[in-house]
Amino acid sequence: MGLKFQTEVQIPDFAWKTGYQKRNLFMGSCFTENIGQKMEMLKYPVDINPFGILYNPVSVANGLRFLLQHKKFTEQDLIQHNGLWHSFFHHSRFSSPDVNETLTNINNRIESSAEYLKNTDFLFITFGTAWVYEYKLTGQTVSNCHKIPEKEFRRFRITPGEIVEEFRQLLSEIWKFNTQIKVVFTVSPIRHWKDGAIENQRSKATLLLAIDQLIRGFGEENCNYFPAYEIVMDELRDYRFYEEDMIHLSTSAVNHIWEKFQLALIDEKSKEISEKVKNIISAVNHRPFKKFTKEHLHFLKQSLQKAQRLEEKFPYLNLGFEKEVFFNQINELKKE
């Protein structure tokens, strides 16, 4: 038996799998963006963070409730600061100098994501921190402070019990709304270093205890936990797996988590299809040394045919963007 130079995290045995014929909604912090974008790039049906990145469980719960309620934001729900209109429940990517533009962006996204939630198969929820900010003026927990002075907020750490109570009620509402949905919890492996090493650990422990209680309560047939946090802490405990700030994960670390995620949660047929989709995407991104040649025109025509055949064989795939790219490039070459 050879020497082992790495401890491997045991992934739970998931009773259900996602894939190209399933819809996936990602809510929460960085894991949702990293893994959600991997799935999106490979043309899986996904909706990622309709409120932008959300770090704490209360903000995630607020967002999901707004989707259930089909909430319509008005000017009274916004705050103006530094020349921009902001929502305390949204990432600054929704902010704008024009109040109507901000509201249109927010409400259009809520409307589309509320419909998506109604028919989605998988809800991936990632908690990043148990620390929350409460706006003193209104007492509401905010998702983003939008660079408003810190003195205007009360900052505190919520308890495992508070998280469990919040999500016990919320998940029951979601399952009434969509009986088929499976919930996968994760904890972001990104450390909130500004809290300090000790407080970051207490925060992550709070999240982990709350998720464990929720899964015990609802049962693994309805929800489960994917150990992204543990994979980074145990399998990738080396600073070469981090960016220069020593906080965010490197591309190789994200790829490693993605491979584990695929093995655990994506069905075999979809993994096979994704390899073919990768080839199509690679062809889209191909930059020839000499563009206006018969060889490149032949390559584009072949790539277009492959995309068309793949869609014909698997009608649930959507390669419309890729086909359009090939079609436009073929026409451009034909004009020369």
Contact partners, residue 314, CB within 8 Å, separation at least 6: 20, 273
pLDDT of residue 13: 85
Reported as half-sphere exposure (CB side, CA atoms, 13 A), residue 33 has a value of 15
Question: With contact defined as beta carbons under 8 Å apart, do 191 and 247 qualify?
Answer: yes
Total-model pTM: 0.94
- In angstroms, the CA 153 to CA 214 distance is 29
Nearest-CA neighbor of 41 among 260, 258, 292?
A: 258
Question: With contact defined as beta carbons under 8 Å apart, do 208 and 233 qualify?
Answer: no
Q: Which domains does the chain have, with CATH numbers?
A: 24-266 (3.40.50.1110), 276-335 (no CATH)
Whose structure tokens read 């600061």? 81
Q: DSSP for 229-259, please give it.
A: HHIIIII--SGGGB-TTSSSBPHHHHHHHHH
Q: Is 78 helix (H, G, I), strand (E, B) or coil?
A: strand
pLDDT of residue 292: 84
The encoded tokens of residue 104 equal: 């249109």
Question: With contact defined as beta carbons under 8 Å apart, do 208 and 215 qualify?
Answer: no
Nearest-CA neighbor of 273 among 305, 304, 313, 301?
A: 313
The residues with which 86 forms a beta bridge, in sequence order, are 79
Tens-level pLDDT at each residue, the chain (336 residues): 455 667 899 998 899 999 999 999 999 998 899 999 999 999 999 999 999 999 999 999 999 999 999 999 999 999 999 999 999 999 999 999 999 999 999 999 999 999 999 999 999 999 999 999 999 999 999 999 999 999 999 999 999 999 999 999 999 999 999 999 999 999 999 988 888 899 999 999 999 999 999 999 999 999 999 999 999 999 988 888 888 888 888 999 999 999 999 999 999 999 999 999 999 999 999 988 888 888 999 999 999 999 999 999 999 999 999 999 999 999 988 876
Interior/surface letters 21-51, b for 16+ CB within 10 angstroms, e for the rest: ebbbbbbbbbbbbbbbebbbebbbbbbbbbb
- In angstroms, the CA 97 to CA 175 distance is 38
pLDDT of residue 193: 87
- In angstroms, the CA 131 to CA 200 distance is 9
> At CB < 8 A and 24+ separation, what contacts does 190-197 make?
190/29, 190/30, 190/128, 190/247, 190/248, 190/249, 191/247, 192/55, 192/128, 192/129, 192/131, 193/247, 195/129, 195/131
Contact partners, residue 297, CB within 8 Å, separation at least 6: 330, 333, 334
User: Beta strand 131-135 with 141-142: parallel, antiparallel or unpaired?
Assistant: antiparallel
- In angstroms, the CA 24 to CA 202 distance is 30
